[in-house]
């Protein structure tokens, strides 16, 4: 959401009508979309075809894909998929002098010449207005396991991440730390109440039917419960 500055004249540009999903190519695993499309709408459209648009964060319901690329957002899935930059195959940009720069590509293996599109990913609109994008998509996983754990000792955080990686491998999608407020004694969790001051949530897709996490799986003395999302 753009906010006008108070100290100097400002132009606000809305791309909300440039919101069309132009092409979902399931076989190639790509989608071409106008820059004003809301992230969540794109996520839902590709999910209907068994595909995943990887960038995801709390503002998904208002953020446009153009804004996601202009800020190179990281978000919840960054461990597995990298920042938004990793998902961009092609861009179309309107430059300051009105010329249209066509950097639209849909090739996953495009190793030819300079990769000029990278200039427009992350600079927050200072080099041009992104109008069209092509993203790579990923196959949806049949199961996702998400777990909530509590650690008695935050110094073992990295050790815990290593363990989570050993479980999920490259498919470990998210690993979030929920520090408790000072004095807090309980963090509510869907299946249990965790009484320790540091909470962690991590998630990874896996193949095969869900299985219940056992505390014996963990070298940590933590209470761990899992939920299954099908
Ligand atoms: C540097 C930066 C990094 C961020 N990283 C994260 C993150 O990792 N995780 C997270 O949850 N949130 C992140 N955010 C917040 C993120 O910007 C918003 O959640 C959302 O993605 C912005 O989308 P929007 O459409 O609302 O863009 P706006 O808020 O309207 O714009 C954000 C910026 O992008 C520019 N911009 C927007 N659309 C275009 C376009 N079509 N062409 C060119 N420039 C455009 C704007 O000029 C502005 O500078 C980040 C924000 C910034 C500034």
**Domain end residue (candidates: 139, 156, 173):** 139
| pLDDT for the residue numbered 153 | 72
Express each pLDDT in 196-230 by its tens digit. Answer: 334 556 665 554 444 444 444 444 433 344 433 32
Q: Is the dihedral angle over the CA atoms 27, 33, 39, 42 positive or is it negative?
A: negative
**Domain containing residue 177: CATH number:** 3.30.70
- Selection from 55, 61, 60 nearest residue 76 by Cα: 55
Name which residue sits closest to atom 51 of ligand 1, judged by CA.
71
Atom number, ligand 1, closest to the C-alpha of residue 74:
8
Q: How many domains does the chain have?
A: 2
> Beta 225-229 vs 187-188: how paired, if at all?
unpaired
**Could you tell me the distance, in angstroms and rounded to a whole number, from the CA of residue 5 to the centre of ligand 1?**
16
pTM, rounded to two decimals: 0.81
Residues 197, 182: Cα–Cα separation, whole Å: 9
Please tell me whether residues 104 and 150 are part of one structural domain: no
| pLDDT for the residue numbered 195 | 36
| pLDDT for the residue numbered 190 | 39
| pLDDT for the residue numbered 70 | 97
Residues 198, 148: Cα–Cα separation, whole Å: 11
* Residue ranges making up the domain that contains 213: 143-229
| pLDDT for the residue numbered 21 | 98
Residues in the chain with pLDDT values less than 70: 1, 180-230
**Could you tell me the distance, in angstroms and rounded to a whole number, from the CA of residue 121 to the centre of ligand 1?**
11
Enumerate residues lining ligand 1, CB below 6 A. 1-2, 15, 35, 57-59, 62-64, 66-68, 70-71, 73-75, 124-125, 129-130
Q: Which residue carries 């396991």 as its tokens? A: 145
| pLDDT for the residue numbered 52 | 94
| pLDDT for the residue numbered 163 | 83
Please tell me whether residues 105 and 205 are part of one structural domain: no
**Domain end residue (candidates: 88, 122, 139):** 139
Name which residue sits closest to atom 37 of ligand 1, judged by CA.
67
Atom number, ligand 1, closest to the C-alpha of residue 35:
41
| pLDDT for the residue numbered 26 | 95
**Could you tell me the distance, in angstroms and rounded to a whole number, from the CA of residue 184 to the centre of ligand 1?**
33
- Selection from 126, 146, 139 nearest residue 199 by Cα: 146
Express each pLDDT in 101-127 by its tens digit. Answer: 999 988 878 788 899 999 999 999 999
| pLDDT for the residue numbered 205 | 56
Mean pLDDT value across the chain: 80
Atom number, ligand 1, closest to the C-alpha of residue 93:
42
Please tell me whether residues 132 and 38 are part of one structural domain: yes
Q: Greatest CA separation found in the chain?
A: 63
Asked whether residue 4 is assigned to any structural domain, the reply reads: no
């Amino acid at each position: 959401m753009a906010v006008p500055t108070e100290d100097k004249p400002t132009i606000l540009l809305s791309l909300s009508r440039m919101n069309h999903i132009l092409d979902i190519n399931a076989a190639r695993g790509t989608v071409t979309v106008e820059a004003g499309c809301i992230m969540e709408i794109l996520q839902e459209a590709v999910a209907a075809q068994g595909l995943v648009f990887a960038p995801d964060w709390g503002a998904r319901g208002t953020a446009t894909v153009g804004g996601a690329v202009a800020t190179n957002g990281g978000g919840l899935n960054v461990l597995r998929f990298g920042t938004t930059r990793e998902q961009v195959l092609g861009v179309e940009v309107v430059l300051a002098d009105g010329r249209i720069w066509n950097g639209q590509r849909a090739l996953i293996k495009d190793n030819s010449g300079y990769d000029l599109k990278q200039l427009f990913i992350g600079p927050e609109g200072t080099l041009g207005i992104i109008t069209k994008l092509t993203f790579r998509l990923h196959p949806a996983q049949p199961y996702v396991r998400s777990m909530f754990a509590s650690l008695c000792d935050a110094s073992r955080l990295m050790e815990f991440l290593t363990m989570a990686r050993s479980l999920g491998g490259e498919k470990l999608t998210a690993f979030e730390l929920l520090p408790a407020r000072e004095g807090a004694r309980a963090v509510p969790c869907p299946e249990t109440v965790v009484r320790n001051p540091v909470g962690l949530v991590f998630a990874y897709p896996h193949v095969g039917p869900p299985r219940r996490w056992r505390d014996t799986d963990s070298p940590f003395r933590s209470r761990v419960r899992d939920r299954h999302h099908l």
